[in-house]
Every structure is written in structure tokens, then in C-alpha cells.
């Protein structure tokens, strides 16, 4: 028998705000957090827009001395973890520390730190100008490590990196860790802070980023016929997962239940999705099997929905493959239309939004959907949020290298 696993806390650091309510409230209003890049001079870049986290002060969450020794992605993770732990009311003590683990992934890790110190070394030709904290700041497992150190979590400490599926894979493997009895509680999610000159230049070189025609807030348009690419973004989503029994024993409020996890590989191409959505089809099918439910039980899909021509078409085809006629009855939306693509953090932030969609019965819209694509002909909840009674939802994440992850969440009713 699998142990039931529930969500007892969450924290969000996003282009729509930081905290619990603000990002969600702005999301369901259809607001966009995408604008011109301010992190560096992007005047020579083809792509000049991003979903930046505004008004983030690490000192609000981290000791200033410690913050200086962390890359921005780790600072985001520490902030989101603090919020999630405060919401959950979880106390980590010497008695329970060994049963509480951390699994927070990053797709690119400390890229900004790498660029900064590499530039300093080249300019000075002096190795002493490289900080002794350079490596600990850079490596992608440091989000998990720093969270464990700060709050004394002594259970499994793991980091997963699967490109844009990182956040979903991290939550999925945290689920497995609890189900198999290796921990009772997991602090899990994904973090990313890769809005940097090299990163933007690299994605531009791949022709993956959206063309800016006029308003930056209209650049991300998932499933729209005129979509041209994704908008790079940053942030973090952290959730507290624990067994239902553990949560009830300590009187925790329960926000949702995680009931299924599926994964697959396209084994096809480093960046393009497999033809006809074959990989995502198996991924969602595996998640449904793991949850022990039928396709007809799914009431909502939080799509990967990157706003790239190939991905949106492949995901639409995969949904049709899995759900058949029911596909046309399922509301689908892409949060990336408003927050951009948070890369390794995307799946975690979107899983939280999926949980809130189920809990509050409000489906966020896919904004900028103005030109229907005959090949993407499902219900993408265009432009305006929708109230609905929902029980089960899938949150999809697909990444470069052909890696796929799907999470199934359930509204918790006791």
C-alpha cells in the first residue's frame, strides 16, 4: 500500500510576486509579469524581455552574510522554503530531523555566478580574484544543501537536474521518497535564476525565444497560431510534502494531495519533441496508471505550454492521444503566458498553481490567445479565468534532451 502524501505548505518566488496570495491572485486576473530585461544591458540582444522577479531582497529571508555566499537561485530557494515552512507550521527538531529531507532541483544552477567570476578572472588574470565560495555558489545541489543546513533537515538531501522538467521530477521523486518510507516529510521544488547574458544569447542562438513585435506582455502566447517562442523567466516554487498520517498527527492544514507521478523519455532529439507527442503521451499515461485513475477522471490540465511552435503542437497531440474524445472537454491552460518559462523552477511553480486551481475552483487563463491554431484546437481557457468544480488535475513538464514528467494532484476533501 502506498502511503498517501499531502501538501501542507508552499512558497512562491515568481515574476508575479513573492509569497502565498499575490502571485495566485495576479495569475487568475490574467496579469503578466513579463517586461524588458533590467538585470543587464540587453540592448545588443535579439531577445530583450524576460520574467524577472521584482523587489526581491534576500535580507528579508536570509542572514546578509550568508546571502553573499549564495547564487541568486539559492537565495530564491531559501526564501520560498522559509515561506513554505512557515505556512506548514512544521517544526524540525533533533527527534524528527532524520525523517525530513530536501529535494530541490535547478536546471542550470549558478550560471550568473559562473559568468561573473569568469569575467573577473579574464579581466584581471589573477586567480585570487575568484572567491573561495565560487564552487559552493555554483553547484546546483546547493539549494537543497543550504535549506537542510539552515533548518536542520537531516533526511535525504538530493538535487535533480532535468532541464525544464526539473521542478516536476523533483516533486515526483520526493513523492517516491516518502512513499517508500525513506522520509516522512520532504521540502521539495525547483529554483532557477538564469537571466544572464550568456543564457539569453544561448537560447537566442537556438531560436527558442519569442520575437518581440510590440508589447513584451504579449510575447508569450501558448497555443496561439502566431506563437514564436518562449520567454525566459526566473523564480522558485517550494512545497512541503508529508504523509497524510504525519500531517494529521500534528494538526496541519492540508492544501492538496499528490497522487500520481509519471515520467518518460522521447529518445528522439536534444531540443525538439518526439513526433506526434509520443513521449509525453507515455508520460501522462504512466502518471494516470500510478494514480490508479482513468483519463476521464482528469478535470484540468496545467500544460507545459511553452509558446514554441513544436512544443505546443506536440503537447496538444499527446493530450488527444491519451484522452481521446475527453480531450475536448478538459480545460487546459498555460501559466507561462503570464510568468514566462522558469526553466528548472517551472514545474514546481506550476504544480503549486495547479494545487490552488483545484483548491479554489478557479482555472487560470491562457492569456494572449488571439489567433486560434487549427492544429491546436482544444479548450485552452483563453484570456479569462473560469470557475469550475475540479477533483483531479495533471501538471506537465517536458525538457531538452527529451525528458518528460507529469504530476497528478487531487483536491483534498479529507
Tell me how far apart the alpha carbons of residues 28 and 14 are, in angstroms, rounded to a whole number.
Answer: 14
Judge whether 341 counts as a catalytic residue: yes
Judge whether 304 counts as a catalytic residue: yes
Q: Which H/E stretch holds residue 392?
A: strand 392-399
Q: DSSP alpha helices (H): ranges in 61-196?
A: 64-67, 72-88, 111-124, 134-138, 142-151, 166-179
Other beta carbons within 10 angstroms of residue 406's beta carbon come to 33
Tell me how far apart the alpha carbons of residues 122 and 142 are, in angstroms, rounded to a whole number.
Answer: 26
Output the CA torsion sign for 96, 98, 99, 100. Answer: positive
The residue from 169, 246, 304, 376 that is catalytic is 304
The residue from 169, 246, 341, 376 that is catalytic is 341
Q: DSSP label at 238?
A: E
Q: How far is CA 265 from CA 190, 270, 352, 358, in A?
A: 20, 11, 24, 28
Nearest to 35, CA basis, from 193, 207, 219:
219
Tell me how far apart the alpha carbons of residues 363 and 380 are, in angstroms, rounded to a whole number.
Answer: 10
**How far does CA 402 lie from the centroid of its chain?**
17
Judge whether 283 counts as a catalytic residue: no
Find cell 495576479 and name the residue.
Answer: 26
The residue from 164, 236, 283, 376 that is catalytic is 164
Tell me how far apart the alpha carbons of residues 329 and 324 are, in angstroms, rounded to a whole number.
Answer: 10
Please give the grid coordinates belonging to residue 84.
Answer: 513554505
Tell me how far apart the alpha carbons of residues 98 and 183 are, in angstroms, rounded to a whole number.
Answer: 8
Find cell 540592448 and name the residue.
Answer: 43
User: Active-site residue numbers?
Assistant: 164, 304, 341
Amino acid at each position: 500500500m502506498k502511503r498517501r502524501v499531502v501538501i501542507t505548505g508552499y512558497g512562491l518566488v515568481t515574476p508575479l510576486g513573492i509569497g502565498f496570495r499575490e502571485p495566485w491572485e495576479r495569475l487568475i486576473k490574467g496579469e503578466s509579469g513579463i517586461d524588458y530585461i533590467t538585470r543587464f544591458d540587453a540592448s545588443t540582444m535579439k531577445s530583450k524581455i524576460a520574467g524577472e522577479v521584482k523587489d526581491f531582497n534576500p535580507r528579508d529571508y536570509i542572514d546578509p552574510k550568508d546571502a553573499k555566499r549564495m547564487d541568486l537561485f539559492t537565495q530564491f530557494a531559501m526564501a520560498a522554503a522559509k515561506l513554505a515552512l512557515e505556512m506548514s507550521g512544521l517544526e524540525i527538531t533533533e527527534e524528527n530531523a532524520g525523517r525530513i529531507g530536501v529535494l530541490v532541483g535547478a536546471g542550470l544552477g549558478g550560471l550568473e555566478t559562473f559568468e561573473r567570476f569568469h569575467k573577473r578572472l579574464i579581466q584581471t588574470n589573477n586567480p585570487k580574484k575568484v572567491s573561495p565560495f565560487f564552487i559552493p555558489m555554483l553547484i546546483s545541489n546547493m539549494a537543497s544543501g543550504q535549506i537542510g543546513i539552515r533548518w536542520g533537515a537531516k533526511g535525504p538531501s538530493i538535487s535533480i537536474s532535468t532541464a525544464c522538467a526539473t521542478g516536476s521530477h523533483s516533486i515526483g521523486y520526493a513523492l517516491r521518497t516518502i512513499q517508500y518510507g525513506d522520509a516522512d516529510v520532504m521540502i521539495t521544488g525547483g529554483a532557477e535564476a538564469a537571466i544572464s547574458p550568456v543564457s539569453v544569447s544561448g537560447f537566442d542562438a537556438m531560436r527558442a525565444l519569442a520575437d518581440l513585435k510590440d508589447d513584451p506582455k504579449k510575447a508569450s502566447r501558448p497555443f496561439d497560431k502566431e506563437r514564436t517562442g518562449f520567454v525566459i523567466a526566473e523564480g522558485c516554487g517550494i512545497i512541503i510534502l508529508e504523509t497524510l498520517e504525519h500531517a494529521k498527527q500534528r494538526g496541519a492544514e492540508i492544501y492538496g494531495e499528490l497522487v500520481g507521478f509519471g515520467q518518460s523519455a522521447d529518445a528522439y532529439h536534444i531540443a525538439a519533441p518526439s513526433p506526434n507527442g509520443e513521449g509525453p503521451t507515455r508520460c501522462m499515461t504512466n502518471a494516470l496508471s500510478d494514480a490508479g485513475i482513468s483519463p476521464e477522471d482528469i478535470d484540468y490540465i496545467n500544460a507545459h505550454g511553452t509558446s514554441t511552435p513544436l512544443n505546443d503542437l506536440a503537447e496538444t497531440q499527446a493530450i488527444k492521444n491519451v484522452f481521446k474524445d475527453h480531450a475536448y472537454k478538459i480545460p487546459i491552460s498555460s501559466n507561462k503566458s503570464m510568468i514566462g518559462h522558469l526553466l528548472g523552477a517551472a514545474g514546481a511553480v506550476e504544480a503549486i498553481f495547479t494545487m490552488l486551481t483545484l483548491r479554489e475552483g478557479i482555472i487560470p487563463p491562457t492569456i494572449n490567445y488571439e489567433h486560434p491554431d487549427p492544429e491546436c484546437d482544444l479548450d485552452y481557457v483563453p484570456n479569462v479565468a473560469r470557475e469550475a468544480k475540479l477533483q483531479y488535475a495533471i501538471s506537465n513538464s517536458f525538457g531538452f534532451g527529451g525528458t518528460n514528467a507529469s504530476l497528478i494532484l487531487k483536491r483534498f476533501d479529507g
